[in-house]
Structure 1
Amino acid sequence: MSLITSFPATTFMPIQATEIAKEVDLLYAFLLVSSLISFVILIGGMTWFLIKFKRTTDEQKSAYITHNNFAEFMWSFIPLIILLVIFYWGMVIFEKLRVPPTDVAAEIHVTAEQWAWTYKYANGKEFYSSGNDPLIVPAGKATKLVLTSKDVIHSFYVPAFRTKQDAVPGRYSQLWFQPTLPGEFIVFCTEYCGTKHSGMMIKIKALPAEEYAAWYHAEKKGADTPADKGKVLFAQKACASCHSIDGTKIVGPTMKGLYENKRKFVDGSEAKADENYLRESILVSSAKVVEGYPPAMPLFQGQLSDEEVEHLIEYIKTIK
């Protein structure tokens, strides 16, 4: 199903392809209307006062006009309330945009580089945007993207979803969306990244859930999934000699149930074991030492490629 047949056309804003897009547009409309009303009151009132209270005689020019405490309070208090409403409203929408739901149907690793995108699926499928391959996702279900970059900062922006997230070298960021209907949607890179920056447009193709499942499980391009490759690396690098996968306490913390859980460190701080924490702990183990364990793990920075680190993280995610 094409984008044109899926959604009504509009000349004011891009199509609303997610429920959050509707909320973003409603807030934007409120900002426009409240700004217009404020403009009319301010400029209209100022113009009316200039005409009505123009001083033409010496008596008028020497007259003293007293102030009105209630009026002065209200013209400060009412805008304050409006601004607090806007702040809270925007904060609620921002949190919805940034925090993915627990029932994510698809998690896809997206890597940016000058001037293309690579998408890697959990089952081993991998596509490169220079081959005009769309990013295929399920319609009606949540999709989470884990973003990173090989070179400079890029930015993944989907106007129809009203969502944007930077892809930064050396770290992971996340973005999620849930298309309400099947269709095709344009993705722009909105961080200038070089001479072919404008050519980094790709398509997201949202398929009905049944079609997506059929596509996802058919014709795998790779025999091994990223998690499978990570399991092999875990054995090759002798990680199991210090980190158990069954909850047993040995030299280092166990990997069982690690992902997305809280970790407490020797300095008293805490952090959630997300992709960025796992990446840092693999490459620079001394950055955050877990409470109750010695700083015994060697540094792997410079010994593992970004892809190998990604595979290890995907394997750790599977150890429940």
Structure 2
Amino acid sequence: WYWAFTYPNVSESFELHVPICKAVRLNMRSNDVLHSFYVPAFRAKQDVIPGRVNVLWFRPILEGQYTLFCTEYCGDNHSEMMAKVEVHSEESFQKKLVELNKHPESPVAHGEWLYERKGCKGCHSLDPTKVVIGPSFAGAWNIEFDTSAGQKVKFDDAYFIESLESPQAKMKPEFVKASQMPSYKGRLKPNEVDALKAMLKALEDGQITQEERDAIPAPTEGQVPAAEQTGATASN
């Protein structure tokens, strides 16, 4: 249950950052069920509907941090479907965009950076003992398992690409009912796919070092360029 925001030339984020005193346009859609975007401080509310794009305009006039809520019951974790909205001065906003769009150089650290910002973390943990919604990524690489259709599959490069593009194609039986993952086809650059694979392989080998973790910018989880046009997506 999360909100995601995409802007021209900036990666997807899970917080909304906007500049003060500029009109902001949100083009909103849902990947699954009916949601409703609501920021009480802005008196801004709009339904977010599957298969359709709804538009919302607002013009923030006070700097600060605000809370975005979903006000349409959307399932078990509806009450947790919140996000931070931050209104910046123009100078602060431009700095934030640069900061949030700069990823670590190491492929493994870049993979963790993407994991924090592309929606992976909302469903997949990095802890072998913890299940969020989907299976944990810890130790998943190179593991063989039986799918819900009875096929034997190995978690390798081919399976990873197929699962990004067609998430419901080959699933573990215990996660069939939980799987509402949208397709990531066309949403990741080739170097981003490679970085995520590097992270998964490092998790298998236990090779993610503290140095690589320290190189990852703290996940404020936002990024957006703005006053012009923003895409907002709701998912559970």
| TM-score bracket for the superposition, by shorter chain length | 0.3 to 0.5
- Which protein has the bigger helix share? 1
The structure whose RCO (Cα within 8 Å, separation 6+) is larger is 2
- Which protein has the bigger strand share? 2
- TM-score, normalised relative to structure 1: 0.32
- TM-score, normalised relative to structure 2: 0.42
